[in-house]
């Protein structure tokens, strides 16, 4: 009766060995099994399939017509099973490539340490790193050119289906200027900054766009000078060319000898959340694992070169 016995790979492998070696006895020797075990597996195979596989009226194991047809399928199934086993072996040593994008602030702070440690922790994962402005990174992420990006969260993400996000850290922002440039009692109302030149990163920076949007809501004019490079922007501020909203702790640490001043302004700029964004899908568990490791490493307060 069909279905009494379950069809198994071991039955098919035993069947193939009997056919190739010609007798149950030789097959049992090859399989390191007793002859009765081989006979039992063949019997179970016949009951599982409902087929009469061997002509037992002959001395040697000769296939019936049904057996010939089963043999072709048995070879295919065994071949497929071997490919699955090989796939499992390959997965142990396969190098997973992940394309990941970071902004300049990340590259100036915790990214070098993360890359150094993660490479030792996970030699099976190759991170292909891109450093660029957040808007450019987000566009590449949308175009599937990057698997994961670490950027300030942009409003479009909320409307993007299938995008996972994880907050890594919030960055404290502050108005900064060359010491002595901005006069007046402290705290200083933000309206008193109207007479100073505002310096900012350009439109490709999601960080700058969020800050500039907030500044506009406070009634201040748009930035008059643009410097897409964060270090260049800090250089302009330390030279007394104007004021800017900057990551407070990070800039204070690497420009501490340059006479920069954190301005006590009311209201102070909001903190900036940096997120890991990645697509859901077949690799979501890997990307989630990397994102959690990024969260553990994220520290935007300490420049790596100090």
What single-letter DSSP state applies at residue 124? T
Both 209 and 165 in a single domain? no
> What are the residues facing 274 on neighbouring strands?
152, 169
Q: Is 183 a domain residue?
A: yes
81 and 8 in contact (C-beta within 8 Å)?
no
Both 287 and 265 in a single domain? no
User: Torsion angle, CA of 285/286/289/293, rounded to 10 degrees?
Assistant: -160
Give the mean pLDDT of 214-227. Answer: 88
Q: Is 55 a domain residue?
A: yes
175 HSE (CA, 13 A, CB side): 27
Confidence check: pLDDT of 76 > 80: yes
**What are the pLDDT digits (tens) for 262-289?**
999 999 999 999 999 998 877 899 999 9
| CA–CA separation, 109 and 102 (whole Å) | 11
Both 27 and 84 in a single domain? yes
| CA–CA separation, 90 and 54 (whole Å) | 38
| CA–CA separation, 292 and 166 (whole Å) | 8
Nearest in space to 111 (alpha carbons), one of 135, 132, 97, 91: 132
Q: Is 261 a domain residue?
A: yes
Confidence check: pLDDT of 3 > 50: no
Q: 164: buried, middle or exposed (CB in 10 Å: 19+, 13-18, 0-12)? A: middle
Both 210 and 150 in a single domain? no
CA distances from 33 to 8, 40, 96 (A): 17, 11, 41
143 HSE (CA, 13 A, CB side): 7
202 and 233 in contact (C-beta within 8 Å)?
no
Query: What pLDDT shows up at residue 94?
Result: 65
Given 91, 119, 150, which residue is the final one in a domain?
91
Range scoring the smallest mean pLDDT among 203-207, 235-239, 266-270, 297-301: 203-207
Q: Is 54 a domain residue?
A: yes
**What are the pLDDT digits (tens) for 86-140?**
766 655 556 789 999 999 999 999 999 999 999 999 998 999 999 999 989 999 9
CATH of residue 100: 3.40.190.10
Residue 196: pLDDT band (50, 70, 90) is very high
| CA–CA separation, 201 and 86 (whole Å) | 51
Give the mean pLDDT of 47-63. Answer: 80
Total domain count, the chain:
3
Residue 205: pLDDT band (50, 70, 90) is confident
Q: Is 230 a domain residue?
A: yes
Give the mean pLDDT of 155-174. Answer: 82
Both 136 and 220 in a single domain? no
Both 178 and 266 in a single domain? yes
| CA–CA separation, 38 and 30 (whole Å) | 11
Cross-sheet strand order for the sheet of 173-178: 244-247, 173-178, 260-262
Both 187 and 200 in a single domain? yes
Confidence check: pLDDT of 2 > 60: no
Both 160 and 181 in a single domain? no
Both 194 and 165 in a single domain? no
Confidence check: pLDDT of 4 > 60: no
Among 126-130, 201-205, 208-212, top mean pLDDT goes to 126-130
More confident residue, 61 or 242: 242
Both 141 and 288 in a single domain? yes
Nearest in space to 177 (alpha carbons), one of 102, 263, 111: 263
Both 183 and 136 in a single domain? no
Count CB-CB contacts under 10 A for residue 16. 17
Q: Is 144 a domain residue?
A: yes
Domain that holds residue 129: 96-170+273-297
Both 58 and 194 in a single domain? no
Secondary structure (3-state) at 229: coil
Mean pLDDT of the chain: 88
Confidence check: pLDDT of 1 > 60: no
Range scoring the smallest mean pLDDT among 4-8, 69-73, 130-134, 188-192: 4-8
Given 38, 61, 91, which residue is the final one in a domain?
91
Give the mean pLDDT of 27-53. Answer: 90
Q: Is 302 a domain residue?
A: no
| CA–CA separation, 182 and 159 (whole Å) | 41
Q: Is 303 a domain residue?
A: no
CATH of residue 82: 1.10.10.10
Given 31, 66, 91, which residue is the final one in a domain?
91
pTM of the prediction?
0.68
């Amino acid at each position: 009766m069909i279905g009494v016995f379950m069809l198994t790979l071991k039955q098919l492998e035993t069947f193939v060995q009997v056919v190739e070696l010609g007798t149950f006895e030789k097959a049992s020797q090859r399989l390191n099994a007793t002859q009765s075990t081989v006979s039992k597996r063949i019997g179970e195979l016949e009951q599982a399939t409902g087929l009469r596989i061997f002509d037992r009226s002959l001395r040697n194991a000769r296939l019936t017509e049904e057996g010939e047809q089963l043999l072709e399928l048995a070879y295919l199934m065994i071949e497929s099973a071997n490919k699955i086993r090989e796939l499992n072996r390959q997965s142990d040593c396969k190098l997973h490539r992940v394309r990941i994008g970071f902004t300049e602030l990340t590259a100036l702070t915790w990214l070098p340490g993360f890359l150094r440690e993660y490479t030792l922790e996970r030699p099976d994962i190759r991170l292909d790193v891109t450093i660029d402005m957040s808007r450019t990174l987000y566009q590449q992420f949308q175009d599937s050119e990057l698997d994961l990006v670490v950027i300030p969260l942009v409003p479009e993400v909320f409307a993007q289906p299938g995008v996972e996000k994880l907050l890594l850290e919030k960055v404290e922002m502050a108005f900064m200027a060359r010491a002595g440039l901005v006069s007046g009692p402290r705290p200083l109302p933000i309206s008193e900054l109207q007479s100073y030149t505002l310096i900012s990163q350009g439109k490709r920076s999601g960080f700058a766009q969020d800050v500039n949007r907030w500044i506009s809501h406070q009634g201040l004019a748009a930035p008059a000078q643009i410097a897409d490079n964060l270090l260049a922007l800090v250089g302009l501020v330390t030279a007394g060319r104007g004021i800017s909203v900057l990551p407070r702790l990070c800039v204070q640490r690497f420009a501490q000898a340059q006479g920069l001043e954190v301005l006590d302004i009311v209201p102070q700029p909001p903190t900036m959340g940096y997120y890991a964004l990645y697509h859901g899908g077949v690799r979501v568990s890997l990307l989630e694992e990397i994102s959690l490791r990024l969260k553990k490493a994220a520290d935007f307060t300490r420049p790596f070169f100090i």
